[in-house]
Chain A
Amino acid sequence: MSLLSVDGLTIGYAGQPAVRNLSFTMEKGESVGLVGESGSGKTQTAMAVLGLLPAQAKVSGSIRFGETELLGASEKLLNALRAQSMAMVFQDPMQALNPFVQIGSQLRRILLHHGLAEGSQAQTRVMDMLERVGLPDAKRQYRAYPHQLSGGMRQRAMLASALIAEPQLLIADEPTTALDVTVQAQILELLEELRKDTALLLITHDLGVVAGHCERMLVIAEGGLVEQGTTRQVFAQPQHEHTARLIAAAPRLDRTDIPDAKPAEMVLEIAAAAVSYTEQQGDSLHAVRGVDLSIHAGETVAVVGESGSGKSSLVRAALGLVPMRSGRVVFCGSALEGPVQTRSRKSRRGLQLVFQDPVGSLNPQMRVASIVAESLLVHEPGTSAEMRREHVTAMLEKCGLGEQYLDRYPHELSGGEAQRVAIARALILEPKVLVCDEAVAALDGTVRQQILALLRTAQEESGLAIIFITHDLAVVRAVSHRVLVMYMGALVELADNATLFAGARHPYTRALLEAVPVPDPEHPGGRATLRGEVPSLLSPPSGCTFHPRCPHAREICAAETPRERTVGGSTVACHRAEEI
């Protein structure tokens, strides 16, 4: 008998089906990946299994856990099963953990509620669990509140609370999507190590994660199952074209088809840029500490780093959106100073930005046509309304949106469509430099590919220079000519695409590359070679800021800040770049 059997599960909201006739089974101890794009019904399925669907959801079919039918089961029965027999890890632990209760108490309550342990015995078991999930100094973390932990630590605590009652089934819904890639690798390894006999249903959009951590996989699209099989089988010979498309769209590190950049004039130069923010207590937070970056026409430069690396601050300072403490920005031969509103019209026209959140960067009260036309209104005030509309229509067309989109409001667009509008708004000014700040991070694989292709076409047509800020190395591999890797506000490595991916010199770059999950079950990648997390920018480590996490650190690394120098085609800041 299967541990979990879902049969003909159908979930609908107000007549709109979210999941249609979904059937699958899970055996004891098995790890199964549930893969699909956003809106495909992955999370709805998980919620249905746990009995957490909202009251207005119409559910039919059958979900059996062992012998027990879960659909229509009493709240009392479900409550007894949850945590004890099946548990869930959510994407955002900050939302899933109670902010007013200490971590230790939250875990202890689970044990007490289900009568699994009492008194001091419960406390010991919680302490034990916290140690096993790798929370350093478990005694102190027992008393910590969720907001006092970092994102990675919080997800560890979440994992501890899911596994403390030793459930038979663990459902993890995008458990690492909000985390940096090195932390993601740590958490996934931990999950693998701890779960032992617990069956795992891993919901994710990332095929790399499935390839590395699941024995079997289910692919769903538009609420229906399109394919299932062992992970190896599905990756080697996808039966359904949707699966094939997903696999083809999955980002990879092992190849790129980006042509070499032709030599061209420099359009933007950032020299010795430094950005500081003043914290509430008056402490200075040095987000960027002296970074140089130059970019030529027709070239794409990727700026990579984990959160807190200063990659966004660097570029926003160059654009004049945040104040620069020191340093120089030269755009097409003229120096740019001060905040963006005081800069010359020409430079404002020439430097454009596309944001991460496509919907948030469009004014919700304006129609698509006015959003795109607004920048024209500012820079070419002489044109007539008709000419502007024509121009806007042509631009949207170029970005893949037909005339029917002109009169829509942003909330009527999908993420990909909204991002196309944002790109059209930027490109209509014919900028010299386009900055994409995590511009594809919020998009599904296939949509992401389309947007990247759109940007590349724009670049080929007009010699646009693109700065691509991202934490996703697969995107870097796919789009960039050169790559700047940042850590704690400083350059660690700068190299061209091929050099960096073939032989990174800096241990941090290497660790990043090893941590990326690869959509190939034979060589899944995703190895956690770094311990710990990025230290606080308020008290950066001495010497090389990376030394506390570096596997190659020597005494000199803690004492001296490494200088940037050229090693094997890379500009790298590491004392031991030659030896390792």
Chain B
Amino acid sequence: MTTFANILRRVRKSRAVLISGGLLLGIVVAAIAGPALSPHDYLQTNFNELLQRPATTGFRFFGTDDLGRDLFVRSMLGVQVTIIVAIVASVVSLVIGVTYGAVAGYFGGRVDALMMRFVDTLYALPFIFFVILLMVAFERNFLLIFVAIGAINWLDMARIVRGQTLSLREREFVDAARLTGVSAPRIIFRHIAPNLIGVVIVYVTLTIPQAILVESFLSFLGLGIQEPQTSLGALVDAGVNQMEGASWMLLIPAALLATILLCFNFLGDAMRDVFDARDAQ
């Protein structure tokens, strides 16, 4: 049986992966299909239907907000933004972090010292200060949020990958490749990177909730997504203002956010077990 099939089999056996994965999949499908199916629009204000309670009739599952906009559609839109943040952050941290870390670890010595001190320097920048600086320099912008989050997330990944690479490059199969004349880039991508997969996948599933949280935090502070666009963080922010009269405006986006975060955390934990089991075999 191949390694991949082996992992797949264990994923199937793990209940935590199945439940949290299924729940996430459901939420994502709803976030994509929901707004299309709903007769309401995320922009459409309706002064006849301010602060409606959630109801099963008239496609008002989550009720409306203080401007009469449909909360279901807006929440699903928020989930979309959240998921995009998750994907972008993980891709950025994956591509930059893995390459950077593997290169630093493989070459070692002075190259490694220089590259890792650069990472340390970026670490030392206070994050919020960094975001505010970006906002001032480039005005507010949807893309900027992603850049800011990605720029933070790859640092951890680079450190972890570098550590793993340092031990991998001492392994005999790497020596064997060097002896047969395999070039350094090929060693990094063919021999080192595939052996990092376990650690990297686990770490990615753990950075995703972190990125989501940062985005929500920025939006809550008003530094993130701009009205009328929205995200779960922005929705929670709006909900806080209406907490007394319309608790659902706070509770629904908050519950969605919590569920997504929990699912990713469980998934990360379970993934770690799945890959550990491979080592034990």
Contacts and interface: CB of A to CB of B under 8 A. Distances in A.
A321 B171 contact: no
B195 interface: yes
B172 A375 contact: no
Contact of A409 (B3, B180, B182, B195): B3
B184 A352 contact: no
Given A341-B184, A360-B172, A363-B194, A348 B2 contact: no
B245 interface: no
A92 interface: no
A374 interface: yes
A422 B178 contact: no
A363 B180 contact: no
A353 B181 contact: no
Nearest to B193: A365
B120 interface: no
A362 B175 contact: no
B179 interface: yes
B195 A429 contact: no
B176 A321 contact: no
Contact of B180 (A321, A348, A357, A364): A348
B24 interface: no
Contact of A361 (B173, B181, B183, B194): B173
A321 B178 CA distance: 9
A379 interface: yes
Interface in A335-365: 340-341, 345, 348-349, 351-353, 355, 357, 360-365
Contact of B195 (A363, A374, A379): A363
A378 interface: yes
A353 B194 contact: no
Interface residues of B, number: 21
B182 to A, nearest CB: 6
B198 to A, nearest CB: 10
B195 to A, nearest CB: 6
A408 to B, nearest CB: 9
A422 B173 CA distance: 10
A353 B184 CA distance: 19
Given A357-B172, A363-B194, A352 B180 contact: yes
Contact of A340 (B178, B191, B197): B178
A351 B179 contact: yes
Interface residues of A, number: 29
Question: Which of B171, B178, B181, B190 has the most chain A CB atoms closer than 10 A to its own CB?
Answer: B181
Contacts of B176: 353, 355, 361-362, 422, 425
A348 B181 contact: yes
A352 B179 contact: yes
A512 to B, nearest CB: 27
Interface in A294-352: 319, 321, 340-341, 345, 348-349, 351-352
Nearest to A412: B1
Given A353-B175, A355-B175, A422-B176, A364 B195 contact: yes
A351 B181 CA distance: 10
Contacts of B281: 411
B109 to A, nearest CB: 12
A379 B171 CA distance: 23
B147 interface: no
Nearest to A408: B2
A378 B178 CA distance: 11
Interface in B176-208: 176-184, 190-191, 194-195, 197
Contacts of B172: 355, 357, 360-361
Interface in A370-395: 374-375, 378-379
Interface in A548-564: none
Interface in B131-182: 171-173, 175-182
A561 B171 CA distance: 37
Interface string B243-261: 0000000000000000000
Given A363-B194, A409-B3, A378 B181 contact: yes
A348 B179 CA distance: 6
A379 B186 CA distance: 14
Nearest to B180: A375
A425 B180 contact: yes
A363 B178 CA distance: 13
Nearest to A347: B181
A363 B180 CA distance: 14
A486 to B, nearest CB: 21
Contacts of A364: 3, 173, 195
Given A409-B2, A409-B3, A362 B182 contact: no
A348 B191 CA distance: 19
Contacts of B182: 374-375, 378
B2 A374 contact: no
Given A341-B184, A365-B3, A365-B195, A360 B178 contact: no
Interface of A: 319, 321, 340-341, 345, 348-349, 351-353, 355, 357, 360-366, 374-375, 378-379, 409, 411, 422, 425-426, 429
6 contacts: A319-B179, A340-B178, A348-B179, A352-B179, A360-B171, A378-B183
